C-alpha cells in the first residue's frame, strides 16, 4: 500500500514537473517565416508563436529587433563567434502579421531575411505567425481573381494616381454581368498596397467565393492620403483632398472602366483604423454615395451621425479582443435599436493588427450587397 | 603692349583654371532620388549623376555603399557629429536605374531612404539617375493601360503561380478586339516584378501607344525560375521546368482569360540577360510557339539555330555600348544575310543595366506584330 502511494505521488510529481517544464519550454520546431525573402532561412517561427532571429553584422556593437512582447521594447540579440547575432522573442507573438525592424548600432534597418510591407510611412520587415484559422486566407487550388494596378487621372492632384482593383474569378468571362464594388481603405502609415499584400484581401475573397459564402464583387484599394499628418496629430487630418479624389475622380473612373453597378446600392466603403475614420467621415459628409459601411478597428458610429439612415443597409464595426470589443458591441446595439442594421465583430486574441482586419473582411464580405 | 600681353595671359590662365575647376566641381544641385520612399530626402542625385548618401547609424564603426564607380568598390561614408554618415560617389553614375545596398559594420542592409527592387535574389535598394531621354518612360498625362497580377494554376509545380499582365489602354472598352502578346522575361536574380517596377514597361508602352508608335499589345511577365542556379553556375540551369510552365500552363491560361490572338503570329518572346538566354533556348526547343524574338543584353542567335527560319518574323538583339555592341551588330548582319529579318540596337553610354533594357523595349515594341 505504502509503495502504491509512493508510486502515485511520484507519478503526480513527475506530471507536475513535466507540465511545468513543458509550459516553460520553447519548442524546437522553428520554421522559416512564410514572408521570408526567397531562400532565406531566418527569421523563423515555432508552433507556439516564438520568433527566432539571425542577423549578420560581424562588426556591430548592438543589434535589436522591434518585435517582442508588446511594451517590453523588443528583442535584444547576442553576437556569436560566426559574426551573426541571434535571439528569440521573450514570449509568443499574437497570431497573424506583424511589422518590425532592426536597430543596428543605433540605425534603423530592415531584416535582410524578410519581405517588406508598407507601414509606419516606410517599407518595413514583415513576419507571419501562423494562425489556427489561417486556412481562410491561404493560397488554395480554387479559381483566382485578379489584382490590377490602375493609374487613374486626378485633376485635383494634377497627376495619375495608383489604385489596386480586385476583380473576382469569372469577371473577364462573364461579359454581361455587372458587379458591386467595395472601396477598401488602409490605415495610417500604410498605402494602397496594404490590403492585397499584408491583408490578403484577394485570397480571402477567392476562398469565400469558392465556398459560396459571398457574392462576387470588385474591391478597389487606393491611397487615403492618411500620411500627410503625423501619428499623434491625426485629429488635424483634413478629409477633403482624399474625398475629392475618391468621389469625383476614382469612382467615376472605376464606373467607366469596370463593369460596376453604378449606384449607391452597389457600393460599400470600409477601412481599417484611420481608413475606418475616413469611411465614417465621408459617410457623414456625403451620405448618398455608399449604402454599406465597415469600420475595422476604426471607431464606431452613433445613430445620429447617419444622416441618411433609411438608405443605410449595413453598418459593420469590428475590433480585436485586445482593443475595445465592448465599445463596438454597444455601438451596434444602439444602431440596431435605432432601426439601422448593424453587426459587431470581435476578433479573438488579436490587437490592432492585420489578423483582426483579415477576419473582419471575412465576416463583412458575406453581409454585403444582399438587399 | 606688354600690359596687353599680361592681360591676355592672365585671361588665358583664368579661363584654364576656371575650366579645370569646373570639370572637377560637383554641382550643388542635388535632389532626392525619384525612387526614394515617401518623404525621404536621401539619397540625392545631382544633374551630373553624382549621388549623395545620408545614413543614420550613430554607434556604427563603418558604413559603405555598394554604389560608386564600377570596380572601385563603392562609396565609403564618413560619420558626422549628428550621428549620420555622409558621402558622395567618387564620380557620376551611368544614367538610369541601379541596384545598391549598404554595408553597416560588416552586415548588408538596404538604405532606409530608398525603395526596394528585386535583384540579386533579394530586395535591394534602387536609385534612378535622371537620363537625358527619360521622357519615354515618364508617367505622363496619356491614357494608361493596367498591370494585373494574376495567379495561374500550375500542375507541374502543384500550386498557383503569379504573373503580371499589362493590358493596353482601351482593352476593357474594345470588347471585340483581340490583341497579340509579348512574353517578357527578367534577368538572373530578378523575378516577375522587375519589368513593371524597375523596367517601367507599362509606362513605355502607354507612351509609345499615345504617340502612335506601336500597335497596342498585351505583355505577360512571369518568374523565369532563373534563381535556381547560382550566378557563376548559369550553364547548369535547366530550362525544362520553366519551359513547361510557360508553354503548357501560362500561355493557355492567358489565351483563355485575355482576348489574345492565339497563334504563333500573335506571340513574341523577349528577355533581358538570362531572360534572353531563356528566349533563345525555348525558340530552339519549341520553334512553333513564337514568331518574334528579342534578346536584350542576352546573347545572340546564329542563323543555323533558328530551326523554323521561314516562320521567324524578327530577331532583335541589343546591348549597352559598354557591353558587346559589335557582337550584336555582327550577329544581326549574319541573320539578315541568311534571310532572317534581324535588328541590332545599341544603347549609348550604358552597361548591363535597366536603361539599356528600357530603351531596348522602346525600340523592339514598334517592330512587333506588323506582318
Average pLDDT over residues B129-144: 96
Cβ-Cβ contacts under 8 Å, A39 against chain B: 121, 227
CB contact (8 A) between residue B139 and residue A159: yes
Residue B231 cell numbers, joined: 550566378
Cβ-Cβ contacts under 8 Å, B173 against chain A: 257
Q: How far is CA B4 from the centre of its chain?
A: 57
Banded model confidence at residue A309, pLDDT cuts 50, 70, 90: confident
CB contact (8 A) between residue B172 and residue A102: no
pLDDT at A7 over 90: no
Banded model confidence at residue B265, pLDDT cuts 50, 70, 90: very high
User: What pLDDT sits at residue B228?
Assistant: 86
Cβ-Cβ contacts under 8 Å, B172 against chain A: 257-258
Q: What is the extent of the structural domain holding B344?
A: 136-367
CB A328 within 8 A of CB A345: yes
Q: Are residues B108 and B179 in the same domain?
A: no
> Residue B225: which residues within 8 A CB-CB, separation 6 or more?
B241, B242, B245
Q: Are residues A205 and A313 in the same domain?
A: yes
CB contact (8 A) between residue A139 and residue B121: no
User: Where among A113, A130, A147 does a domain terminate?
Assistant: A130
**Does B227 contact chain A (CB < 8 Å)?**
yes
Q: Are residues B105 and B238 in the same domain?
A: no
- Which pLDDT tens digit goes with each residue over A23-64? 569 999 999 999 999 999 999 999 999 999 999 999 999 999
**Does A258 contact chain B (CB < 8 Å)?**
yes
**Does A339 contact chain B (CB < 8 Å)?**
no
Which candidate from B107, B141, B172 shows the least CB-CB separation from A60?
B107
- The SS3 assignment for B352 reads coil
> Residue A353: which residues within 8 A CB-CB, separation 6 or more?
A94, A96, A97, A98, A320
Separation between Cα atoms, residue B225 and residue B246, nearest integer Å: 11
Banded model confidence at residue B21, pLDDT cuts 50, 70, 90: very low
Asked if residue B47 belongs to a domain, the reply is: yes
**Does B175 contact chain A (CB < 8 Å)?**
yes
Which candidate from A146, A175, A227 shows the least CB-CB separation from B148?
A146
**Does A81 contact chain B (CB < 8 Å)?**
no
CB contact (8 A) between residue B55 and residue A108: no
Weakest-pLDDT range from A19-28, A110-119, A205-214, B88-97: A19-28
Alpha helical stretches, state H, chain A: 2-24, 194-197, 201-210, 240-244, 251-257, 274-285, 325-337, 354-364
User: What pLDDT sits at residue A3?
Assistant: 66
Closest of A323, A328, A288 to residue A309, by C-alpha: A288
User: Nearest-CA residue of chain B relative to A113?
Assistant: B122
User: Where among B130, B156, B172 does a domain terminate?
Assistant: B130
pLDDT at B18 over 70: no
Question: For B290-337, where are the E strands, in sequence order?
Answer: 292-296, 314-320
Banded model confidence at residue B357, pLDDT cuts 50, 70, 90: very high
Q: What is the mean pLDDT of chain B?
A: 93
A257-to-A153, B132, B216 alpha-carbon distances in Å: 12, 34, 17
pLDDT at B73 over 60: yes
Asked if residue A14 belongs to a domain, the reply is: no
pLDDT at B329 over 60: yes
**Does A62 contact chain B (CB < 8 Å)?**
yes
Q: Are residues A313 and A232 in the same domain?
A: yes
Q: What are phi and psi of B267, to 5 degrees?
A: -135, 135
**Does A115 contact chain B (CB < 8 Å)?**
yes
Q: Are residues B342 and B218 in the same domain?
A: yes
Q: Are residues B220 and B333 in the same domain?
A: yes
Which candidate from B38, B121, B151 shows the least CB-CB separation from A39?
B121
Separation between Cα atoms, residue A89 and residue A67, nearest integer Å: 7
Q: Residue A221 sits in a domain of what CATH number?
A: 3.40.50.1820
Alpha helical stretches, state H, chain B: 2-23, 194-197, 201-210, 240-244, 251-257, 274-285, 325-337, 354-364
Asked if residue B159 belongs to a domain, the reply is: yes
CB B95 within 8 A of CB B129: yes
Asked if residue A143 belongs to a domain, the reply is: yes
Cβ-Cβ contacts under 8 Å, B104 against chain A: 57, 60, 104-105, 107, 109
Q: Are residues B144 and B104 in the same domain?
A: no
CB contact (8 A) between residue A139 and residue B160: yes
pLDDT at B9 over 90: no
**Does B240 contact chain A (CB < 8 Å)?**
no
Banded model confidence at residue A19, pLDDT cuts 50, 70, 90: very low
**Does A153 contact chain B (CB < 8 Å)?**
yes
Question: For B111-180, where are the E strands, in sequence order?
Answer: 116-119, 122-129, 146-154, 159-167
Which candidate from A102, A110, A146 shows the least CB-CB separation from B150?
A146
**Does A221 contact chain B (CB < 8 Å)?**
no
Q: How far is B106 from chain A (nearest CA, A)?
A: 5
Which candidate from B57, B60, B146 shows the least CB-CB separation from A150?
B146
**Does B170 contact chain A (CB < 8 Å)?**
no
- Which pLDDT tens digit goes with each residue over B198-210? 999 999 999 999 9
- Which pLDDT tens digit goes with each residue over B183-203? 999 999 999 999 999 999 999
- Which pLDDT tens digit goes with each residue over B139-180? 999 999 999 999 999 999 999 999 999 999 999 888 899 999
Q: How far is A240 from chain B (nearest CA, A)?
A: 21
Q: How far is CA A165 from the centre of its chain?
A: 17
Asked if residue B78 belongs to a domain, the reply is: yes
User: What pLDDT sits at residue A21?
Assistant: 45
CB A114 within 8 A of CB A43: yes
ipTM: 0.83
Q: Are residues B145 and B109 in the same domain?
A: no
Please give the tally of structural domains in chain B: 2
Cβ-Cβ contacts under 8 Å, B57 against chain A: 104-107
Asked if residue A1 belongs to a domain, the reply is: no
User: What pLDDT sits at residue A14?
Assistant: 54
Asked if residue A289 belongs to a domain, the reply is: yes
Q: How far is A274 from chain B (nearest CA, A)?
A: 18
Cβ-Cβ contacts under 8 Å, B59 against chain A: 61-62, 105-106
**Residue numbers of B between 11 and 30 with CB closer than 8 Å to A:** none
Banded model confidence at residue A9, pLDDT cuts 50, 70, 90: low
Cβ-Cβ contacts under 8 Å, A109 against chain B: 102, 104, 109-110, 112
**Does A47 contact chain B (CB < 8 Å)?**
no
Asked if residue B241 belongs to a domain, the reply is: yes
Q: Are residues A144 and A165 in the same domain?
A: yes
Q: Are residues B59 and B182 in the same domain?
A: no
User: Nearest-CA residue of chain B relative to A145?
Assistant: B150
Which candidate from A58, A109, A148 shows the least CB-CB separation from B110?
A109
- Which pLDDT tens digit goes with each residue over A228-241? 888 888 888 999 99
**Does B338 contact chain A (CB < 8 Å)?**
no
Q: Are residues A291 and A229 in the same domain?
A: yes
Which candidate from B38, B62, B104 shows the least CB-CB separation from A107?
B104
User: What pLDDT sits at residue B189?
Assistant: 95
Q: Are residues A36 and A148 in the same domain?
A: no
DSSP state, A120? T
Q: Is the dihedral of CA A130, A135, A136, A141 positive or negative?
A: positive
**Does A104 contact chain B (CB < 8 Å)?**
yes
Cβ-Cβ contacts under 8 Å, A121 against chain B: 38-39
Q: Residue B79 sits in a domain of what CATH number?
A: 2.60.40.10
Share of chain A above pLDDT 70, in %: 92
Question: If you count residue pairs, one on A and one on B, with CB atoms under 8 Å apart, how many are there?
Answer: 133
Cβ-Cβ contacts under 8 Å, A191 against chain B: 38
User: Where among B130, B151, B168 does a domain terminate?
Assistant: B130
Average pLDDT over residues A180-188: 98
Amino acid at each position: 500500500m505504502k509503495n502504491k502511494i509512493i508510486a502515485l505521488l511520484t507519478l503526480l510529481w513527475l506530471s507536475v514537473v513535466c507540465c511545468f517544464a513543458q509550459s516553460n519550454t520553447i519548442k524546437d520546431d522553428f520554421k522559416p517565416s512564410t514572408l521570408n525573402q526567397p531562400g532565406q532561412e531566418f527569421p523563423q517561427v515555432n508552433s507556439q508563436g516564438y520568433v527566432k532571429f539571425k542577423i549578420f553584422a560581424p562588426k556591430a556593437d548592438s543589434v535589436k529587433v522591434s518585435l517582442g512582447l508588446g511594451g517590453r521594447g523588443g528583442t535584444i540579440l547576442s553576437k556569436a563567434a560566426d559574426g551573426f547575432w541571434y535571439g528569440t522573442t521573450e514570449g509568443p507573438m499574437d497570431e497573424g502579421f506583424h511589422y518590425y525592424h532592426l536597430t543596428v548600432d543605433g540605425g534603423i534597418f530592415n531584416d535582410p531575411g524578410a519581405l517588406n510591407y508598407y507601414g509606419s510611412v516606410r517599407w518595413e520587415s514583415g513576419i507571419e505567425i501562423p494562425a489556427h484559422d489561417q486556412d481562410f486566407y491561404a493560397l488554395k487550388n480554387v479559381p483566382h481573381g485578379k489584382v490590377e494596378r490602375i493609374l487613374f487621372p486626378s485633376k485635383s492632384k494634377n497627376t495619375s494616381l495608383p489604385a489596386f482593383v480586385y476583380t473576382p474569378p469569372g469577371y473577364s468571362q462573364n461579359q454581361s454581368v455587372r458587379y458591386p464594388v467595395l472601396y477598401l481603405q488602409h490605415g495610417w502609415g500604410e498605402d494602397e498596397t496594404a490590403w492585397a499584400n499584408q491583408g490578403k484581401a484577394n485570397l480571402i475573397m477567392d476562398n469565400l467565393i469558392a465556398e459560396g459564402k459571398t457574392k462576387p464583387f470588385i474591391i478597389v484599394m487606393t491611397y487615403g492620403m492618411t500620411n500627410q499628418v503625423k501619428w499623434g496629430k491625426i485629429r488635424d487630418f483634413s478629409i477633403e483632398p482624399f474625398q475629392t479624389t475618391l468621389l469625383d475622380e476614382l469612382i467615376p473612373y472605376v464606373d467607366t472602366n469596370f463593369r460596376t453597378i453604378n449606384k449607391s446600392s452597389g457600393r460599400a466603403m470600409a477601412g481599417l483604423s484611420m481608413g475606418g475614420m475616413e469611411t465614417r467621415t465621408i459617410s457623414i459628409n456625403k451620405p448618398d454615395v455608399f449604402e454599406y459601411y465597415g469600420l475595422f478597428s476604426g471607431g464606431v458610429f452613433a445613430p445620429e451621425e447617419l444622416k441618411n439612415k433609411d438608405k443605410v443597409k449595413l453598418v459593420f464595426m469590428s475590433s480585436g479582443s485586445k482593443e475595445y470589443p465592448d465599445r463596438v458591441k454597444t455601438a451596434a446595439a444602439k444602431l440596431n435599436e435605432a432601426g439601422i442594421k448593424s453587426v459587431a465583430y470581435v476578433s479573438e486574441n488579436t490587437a490592432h493588427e492585420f489578423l483582426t482586419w483579415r477576419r473582419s473582411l471575412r465576416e463583412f464580405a458575406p453581409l454585403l450587397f444582399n438587399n
